[in-house]
Homo-oligomer: A and B are copies of this chain.
Amino acid sequence: MNAYVTEFSVPESFSPVHRAEQYIRNTRFDRPTLVVDLEQVAAQYDALKAGLGRAAMHYAVKANPAPEIIAKLAEMGSNFDAASRAEIELCLSQGAPAERISFGNTIKRVSDIAFAYQVGVRLFAVDAEEEMHKIAENAPGADVFVRVIVENCDADWPLTRKFGCARDKVLHLLELAGSLGLNAKGLSFHVGSQTRQAAMWENTLDQVAAIWQDAKEAGFDLSLLNIGGGFPAFYGDEIQGPTDYARAVMAQVQARFGDVPELIAEPGRGLVAEAGMIAAEVVLVSRKSENDLSRWVYLDIGKFSGLAETMDECIRYQFLTDRDYEDTGPCILAGPSCDSADVLYEKRPVHLPLGLKSGDRIIIPSCGAYTSTYASVGFNGFPPLDVVVLP
């Protein structure tokens, strides 16, 4: 019996028995391992594409740079959103042509810009004057889009002001681009990570549409709208299925922006998270005091070896065990390192089987995004998360 499958409504992209889960249940691992089902990545790509229509998908490589994923998506015709030189090199090495790669990080090393331009990348994100000058000098004549700040209220993980510029800067940057010989193509934004329902985009799209209108009135002929990421994965709370979700977002875009010549979407989590599951193990179960109501459960994976998104308990993973037929009780969940910050869930404890003990297997679904690359090189001597991709 599987608590995960029976207790929650299963999103359309979930097959009844997940191939990754099946593989994990039939395999012994000597360290925490992420297992990714490439068939499910492909199915999710198709499902999102069906909803996105004529918008080009640029996979956010940072979500999971496993070469097999990049190669598969390249073969299927996907574009790629890269954050650094190494990610561009990865995409090229896996068969993605340079013209299908955009350099979406607004914070780029000068040498990375020069490299990107030299290999043929022509589309760059920018949100500041200094960055515009860096691009003009090292990627002359390139296409740029200006990232704008929006106020996020509805995402599970709202973004900070780290990326983008405020409305009062946008026209200035578009003008600067032109004066430096760059092609100011349009705008980009980010609705916030893990925005669970398409309806939650409304407020953000209104904000961006107002800026778009500003630019049109100021005479800028914008031809590109990059709607960024924010596409959700299933962590237990209901989400809209990928095709419905994408279609509903695009309908809202059409209503506000009309027939924009070029549309880009950058799913990362929404494309690969559900395709991956982590195989982990319980290392210790204890109570700190005879009177404690909660047990402490320590896993062989923690904040510094793959589960960084538990930071501030933002992403709440689910956990499958081989004891899901037992009664459960509240647990504080922690990682294996000698670091007091390596606690996964404490403010809101998780409920796990009462018989759980050292050596028990734990399966963590929806781990295909933002796990393997966050892992430290070897904090406390623990190796990074291993990755297995099922072809």
What is the total number of copies of this protein in its complex? 2
**Contact indicator B127/A286 (Cβ below 8 Å):** yes
Bin the interface of chain A by size: 35 or more
- Checking B105, B130, B292, B359 against A380 with a beta-carbon cut-off of 8 angstroms, the contacting residue is B105
Alpha-carbon distance between A284 and B357 when the two chains are bound, in angstroms: 49
Question: Chain B contacts of A165 at CB under 8 A?
Answer: 286, 288-289
Question: Chain B contacts of A60 at CB under 8 A?
Answer: 338
Q: In whole Å, how far is A255's beta carbon from the nearest beta carbon of chain B?
A: 28
**Contact indicator A379/B383 (Cβ below 8 Å):** no
Question: Chain B contacts of A308 at CB under 8 A?
Answer: 304, 376
Tell me the dominant secondary structure on chain A's binding face.
Answer: loop
**Contact indicator B373/A378 (Cβ below 8 Å):** yes
What are the interface flags for A354-384 relative to B under an 8 Å C-beta threshold, 1 for contact and 0 otherwise? 0001110000000000001111111111111
**Contact indicator A374/B168 (Cβ below 8 Å):** no
**Contact indicator B166/A283 (Cβ below 8 Å):** no
Of chain B, the residue at the smallest CB distance from A62 is: B380
A-B contact list, 17 entries, CB within 8 Å = A61-B381, A65-B381, A84-B336, A84-B380, A84-B381, A84-B382, A108-B283, A130-B286, A160-B340, A165-B286, A165-B289, A166-B292, A167-B289, A169-B288, A304-B308, A373-B380, A374-B376
Lowest 9 CB-CB distances: which A-B pairs, in order? Answer: A128-B286, A86-B381, A166-B289, A84-B381, A87-B381, A159-B340, A83-B380, A107-B298, A160-B340
